């Protein structure tokens, strides 16, 4: 896919920053590109510790909420934590449950079922709590929009403390305390924190208020997992929590997490934000997607090693099943999409080329995939969005009504999905979301008209449908040394807001390439710069590379390149700098991430 390459143009005295912090000017530029501006920002980015994170009481209603829960503990009243079914919800639930239990509370947990309940606390959960003799409910990672559910709780005489991190709606629930950094009037310095961070700060202040001891690293690994998996920006105190949390995870004392590390093959290995977001987190999420999130919570609270390992293996197997189901769902979705393109373009049943897709694909992809598990619609929508860079909504069946289908949407920067869908909410049975994602339900016979209307009013230009590739520094590959690679590695953890540094060099002549690996999925590309310096890059999609160069260059040139014969053919290369460690040896490794003729 063609990308719009752009170079960050953020200014600073990079020479002075380099000298002050003992870093390469390139590293100083990368940090500045992450919107790190002031001297205190730089200090916190480079040296931030848990002690430099913000005090819990700076969050509105935090002290009030702590007082309410402390009174419930002292009076021996039953407290129920109500969480959510994703990683952030499970980690938040664990932090509150474990923290309150250790503080002497009579506490239990309930988590909504993704399919039966949907998101957030509801009236069924409230009534169940009332019937179970619960006096006080404390939510985590949900509750800020639960106006009706909280009203029901008030009607039944329950006390409610809301802890959340989502954007409030116009009307707030009538809770006894609302703790959410996004609510009007809150002066907490950094708003983009996850639900687990709010829960952690709540427990931290509760312990301080009750005169109880809490370890410096207590619950930091859970906060790190939630922060990465909820795709929070890895800046400000989030960066500190994740960096410290990864350190804690590598020597975790939590029996359940230890078992999950073993079940996923991560035991004893160096962890990264990738490990959290793409290995551990998806296993926790799988429980909430295909089963019950309470199973994931039970793993975190389990103390017996054998039992915990058996539970971890089951959760990993559930995630393996989820991955397989997602792959099948994605293939089916692309086939349906191609059929829509054939119908629109009047093409026969031959394969659809990328050129056909670019020409005939709708601005807004809206498809119905029968048989896809309801909880996977959002993942498939996200994959199609990434592959084709179009806002995408994937619908599938519901168990409740054959005439109704349920969808999940993922968007691109130029398309405010919430606004566009909200303009036609009268066509829908149910709808909610934000600019980059949405959940919706529609009658099946309204789907074609819904697709037509949203595409007619997409407002997307051709440029909007081209993804942007942000280059940190245009830099010759020959400038890279082991010292620079090691300095760049200290900028971890990488993720949203603190993306992996990306560099570029243009006019790189292809001297040849080799494809290797058991599955022939690794390529080593040999390049020569305009100054005659030879470099090698690694690439993990050789099939795609060969397909592209066959379009860009002649058959003769491509044949020569595959045999290591220079032809003068040149590419612009975007690359990352890494360190390859093998058999005790450490070497700089350049990874090609994008290329253009």
Q: Does residue 242 sit within a domain? A: no
In a domain, 386, yes or no: yes
The 10s digit of each residue's pLDDT in 526-585 is 999 999 999 999 999 999 999 999 999 999 999 999 999 999 999 999 999 999 988 889
Query: How far from 396 is each of 430, 549, 572, 586, CA to CA, in Å?
Result: 14, 38, 41, 48
Same domain, 455 and 528: no
444 is written with which tokens?
């099946």
Residue 506 lies in a domain: yes
Residue 128 has pLDDT above 80, yes or no: yes
Task: For the chain, give the percent of residues with pLDDT over 90.
Answer: 87
> Based on the domain organization, do 409 and 528 belong to the same domain?
no
Q: Are 230 and 194 in contact (CB under 8 A)?
A: yes
At 109-123, the pLDDT tens digits run 999 998 888 888 999
Q: Which of 442, 465, 488 is the endpoint of a domain? A: 465
Residue at which a domain ends, from 219, 235, 264: 219
Select from 171, 186, 219 the last residue of a domain. Answer: 219
Backbone angles phi, psi at 363, to 5 degrees: -60, -40
Q: Could you give the CA distance from residue 139 to residue 149 in angstroms, rounded to a whole number?
A: 11
291, part of any domain:
no
Q: Indicate whether 514 and 434 sit together in one domain.
A: no
User: What per-residue confidence (pLDDT) applies to 584?
Assistant: 84
- Residue 503, in any domain of the structure: yes
Predicted confidence (pLDDT) at residue 519 exceeds the cutoff of 90: no
Closest CA to 511 of 573, 563, 588: 563
Q: Per mean pLDDT, which range of 156-160, 517-521, 535-539 is the poorest? A: 517-521
Residue 313 located in a structural domain: no
Host domain of residue 369: 362-465
- Give tens-digit pLDDT for 9-51: 999 999 999 999 999 999 999 999 999 999 899 999 999 999 9
Domain CATH code at residue 539: 2.40.50.460
**Average pLDDT value over all residues in the chain:** 94
Lowest-confidence pick of 45-54, 130-139, 515-524: 515-524
3-class DSSP state of 301: helix
Residues 76 and 198 in one domain: yes
Helix (H) or strand (E) holding 514: strand 503-516
- Strand 570-582 vs strand 534-539: parallel, antiparallel, or unpaired? unpaired
Residue 433 is predicted with a pLDDT of 77
User: Is there a single domain that holds both residue 86 and residue 207?
Assistant: yes
Work out the pLDDT band at 249, boundaries 50, 70, 90. very high
Give pLDDT, residue 61. 98
Mean pLDDT computed over 437-461: 95
Write the CB contacts of 418 (distance below 8 Å, at least 6 apart in sequence).
Answer: 433, 434, 435, 438
Total domain count, the chain: 3
pLDDT in tens, 173-213: 999 999 999 999 999 999 999 999 999 999 999 999 999 99
Instruction: Indicate whether 132 and 72 sit together in one domain.
Output: yes
The strands making up 392-397's β-sheet, listed across from edge to edge, are 365-368, 392-397, 404-410, 437-443, 430-434
- Does residue 316 fall inside a structural domain? no
Do residues 171 and 214 share a domain? yes
Beta bridge partners of 126: none
Residue 401, pLDDT > 90, answer no
Instruction: Classify residue 217 by its DSSP letter.
Output: T
Closest C-alpha among 342, 285, 257 to residue 84: 285
pLDDT of residue 581: 87
Residue 33 covered by a domain: no
Ramachandran angles phi, psi of 474, nearest 5°:
-70, 115
**Domain CATH for 139:** 3.90.1640.30
Q: Parallel, antiparallel, or unpaired: how do β-strands 534-539 and 522-528 relate?
A: antiparallel
pTM of the complete model: 0.91
Domain co-membership, 510 together with 430: no
**Judgement on whether residues 141 and 201 belong to the same structural domain of the protein:** yes
Q: Is the pLDDT of residue 295 over 90?
A: yes
Q: What number is the average pLDDT over the span 125-130?
A: 97
- Distance (Å) of CA 10 to CA 31, 134, 471: 10, 54, 12
- The CATH number covering residue 420 comes to 3.10.310.30
Q: What Cα–Cα distance (Å) separates residue 28 from each residue in 8, 273, 350, 507?
A: 13, 22, 51, 26
Checking if the pLDDT of 76 tops 90, the result is yes
Per-residue model confidence as pLDDT tens digits over 506-517: 999 999 999 998
H or E stretch covering 289: helix 281-290
Task: Specify whether 445 is located in the same domain as 492.
Answer: no
Burial class (CB in 10 A: 0-12, 13-18, 19+), 95: buried
Residues 72 and 135 placed together within one structural domain of the fold: yes
Q: What is the pLDDT of residue 115?
A: 81
pLDDT in tens, 303-360: 999 999 999 999 999 999 999 999 999 999 999 999 888 888 888 767 777 778 888 9
Specify whether 431 is located in the same domain as 500.
no
Other Cβ atoms closer than 10 A to 445: 8
Could you tell me whether strands 365-368 and 503-516 are parallel, antiparallel, or unpaired per DSSP bridges? Answer: unpaired
pLDDT band at 169 (very low <50, low <70, confident <90, very high): confident
Checking if the pLDDT of 227 tops 80, the result is yes
Q: Is 114 helix (H, G, I), strand (E, B) or coil?
A: coil
């Amino acid at each position: 896919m063609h990308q719009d390459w752009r170079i960050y143009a953020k200014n600073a005295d990079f020479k002075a920053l380099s000298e002050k912090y003992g870093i390469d000017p390139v590293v100083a530029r990368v940090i500045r590109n992450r919107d790190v501006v002031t001297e205190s920002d730089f200090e916190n980015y480079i040296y931030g510790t848990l002690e430099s994170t913000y005090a819990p009481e700076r969050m509105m209603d935090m002290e009030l909420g702590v007082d309410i829960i402390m009174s419930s503990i002292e009076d021996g009243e039953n407290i129920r934590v109500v969480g959510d079914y994703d990683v952030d919800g499970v980690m938040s639930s664990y932090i509150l449950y474990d923290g309150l239990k250790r503080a002497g509370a009579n506490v239990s947990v309930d988590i909504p079922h993704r399919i039966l309940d949907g998101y957030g606390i509801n009236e069924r959960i409230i009534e169940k709590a009332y019937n179970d003799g619960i006096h006080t409910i404390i939510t985590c990672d949900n509750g800020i929009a639960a106006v009706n559910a909280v009203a029901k709780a008030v009607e039944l005489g329950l006390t409610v403390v809301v802890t959340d991190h989502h954007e409030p709606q116009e009307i707030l629930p009538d809770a006894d305390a609302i703790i959410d950094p996004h609510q009007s009037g809150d002066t907490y310095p950094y708003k983009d924190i996850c639900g687990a961070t709010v829960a952690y700060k709540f427990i931290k202040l509760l312990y301080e208020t009750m005169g109880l001891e809490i370890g410096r690293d207590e619950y930091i690994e859970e906060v790190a997992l939630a922060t990465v998996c909820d795709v929070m920006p890895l800046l400000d105190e989030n960066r500190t929590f994740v960096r410290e949390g990864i350190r804690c995870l590598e020597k975790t004392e939590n029996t359940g997490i230890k078992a999950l590390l073993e079940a996923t093959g991560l035991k004893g290995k160096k962890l990264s934000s990738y490990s959290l977001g793409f290995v551990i987190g998806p296993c926790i999420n799988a429980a909430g997607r295909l089963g019950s999130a309470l199973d994931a919570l039970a793993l975190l609270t389990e103390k017996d090693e054998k039992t915990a390992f058996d539970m971890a293996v089951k959760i990993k197997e559930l995630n393996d099943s989820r991955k397989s189901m997602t792959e099948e769902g994605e293939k089916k979705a692309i086939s349906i999409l191609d059929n829509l393109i054939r119908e629109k373009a009047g093409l026969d049943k031959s394969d659809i080329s990328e050129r056909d897709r670019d020409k005939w694909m709708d601005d807004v992809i809206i498809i119905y995939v029968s048989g896809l598990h309801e909880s996977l619609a959002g993942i498939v929508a996200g994959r199609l969005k990434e592959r084709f860079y179009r806002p995408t909504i994937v619908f599938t069946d519901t168990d409740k009504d054959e005439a109704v289908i349920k969808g999940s949407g993922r968007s691109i920067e130029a398309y405010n999905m919430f606004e566009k869908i909200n303009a036609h909410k009268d066509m829908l049975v149910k709808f909610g979301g934000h600019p980059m994602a949405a959940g919706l339900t529609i009658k099946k016979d309204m789907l074609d008209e819904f697709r037509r209307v949203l595409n007619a009013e997409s407002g997307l230009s051709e440029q909007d449908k081209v993804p942007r590739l942000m280059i940190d520094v245009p830099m010759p590959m020959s400038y890279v040394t082991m010292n620079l690679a090691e300095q760049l590695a200290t900028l971890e953890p990488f993720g949203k807001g603190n993306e992996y540094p990306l560099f570029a060099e243009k006019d790189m002549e292809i001297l040849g390439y080799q494809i290797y690996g058991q599955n022939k999925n690794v390529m080593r590309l040999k390049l020569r710069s305009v100054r005659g310096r030879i470099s090698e890059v690694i690439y993990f999609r050789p099939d795609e590379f060969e397909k592209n160069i066959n379009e860009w260059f002649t058959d003769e040139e491509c044949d020569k390149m595959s045999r290591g014969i220079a032809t003068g053919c040149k590419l612009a290369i975007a690359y990352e700098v890494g360190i390859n460690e093998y058999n005790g040896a450490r070497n700089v490794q350049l990874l090609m991430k994008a290329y253009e003729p």
